[in-house]
Amino acid sequence: MGSILILNGSPRAPRSNSKRYAHLFSDSCKTPTDYCDITKANHQALCAKVGAYSQLVFVFPLYVDGLPVTLLNFLKDLEKQPPQNKPTVSVLINCGFLEYTQNDLAVEMLALFCRQNGYPFGSVLKIGGGEAILDTPFRFLAARGIRSFARSVERAKYAAFHTTMPLTKSLFLKASARYWTEYGKKYGVSKEEMQTMKIEQG
């Protein structure tokens, strides 16, 4: 069994960007890693597993400036069923907006969980433009950030890292509007429909 457990807290874990980041993390580690998606059905099993590792890495996206509910619900159960040996918790978070600092609050939420529940807090990697960066020429920046993050976790030399795409806000807005408009078209949804609350009723 590896000594690093990676838990993916994305609500769309099997098809998520977080999964891609988690795999890059595993590839960057010399220490063996184990990877699991958090699902509604596996909280008990994961809670029982966590204590067997010295390092726990949560990989998840920013949702509405906070933690996605998939992760939040798991943390509630972990609080009720704490392991005897508590691993050091590190965080690899990505957000859609260009500014990696959008992730700060969610990182604070997880750090608070750790403080309140007696988990040592480890390293942090905050990725901005996380929906897009892996499919752009700036992929290497994400990969480089993940390598530094992975090294710090393995060596227990904890630190905070961040990365994003080096684009101006206006260029990012233009590129992302074009991307989402094309994406909507694929599913028969117009830009105008995406700009109304009706998008929630689909």
Residues that bind ligand FMN (CB under 6 A): 10, 12, 16-18, 61-65, 94-97, 102, 130-131
In three-state secondary structure terms, 56 is strand
Amino acid at 94: N
Query: C-beta of 138: minimal distance to ligand FMN in Å?
Result: 14
Cβ closer to ligand FMN: 97 or 119?
Answer: 97
Query: C-beta of 97: minimal distance to ligand FMN in Å?
Result: 3
Query: C-beta of 153: minimal distance to ligand FMN in Å?
Result: 19
Cβ closer to ligand FMN: 32 or 166?
Answer: 166
Q: Evaluate whether 116 touches 78 at the Cβ level (below 8 Å).
A: no
Cβ closer to ligand FMN: 14 or 118?
Answer: 14
Token pair recorded at residue 72:
């939040």
Amino acid at 178: R
Nearest Cα to Cα of residue 119 among 5, 22, 18, 2: 5
Query: C-beta of 105: minimal distance to ligand FMN in Å?
Result: 9
Cβ closer to ligand FMN: 34 or 131?
Answer: 131
Residue located via tokens 């990182």: 107
Q: Which strand (E) or helix (H) includes residue 51?
A: none
Amino acid at 9: G
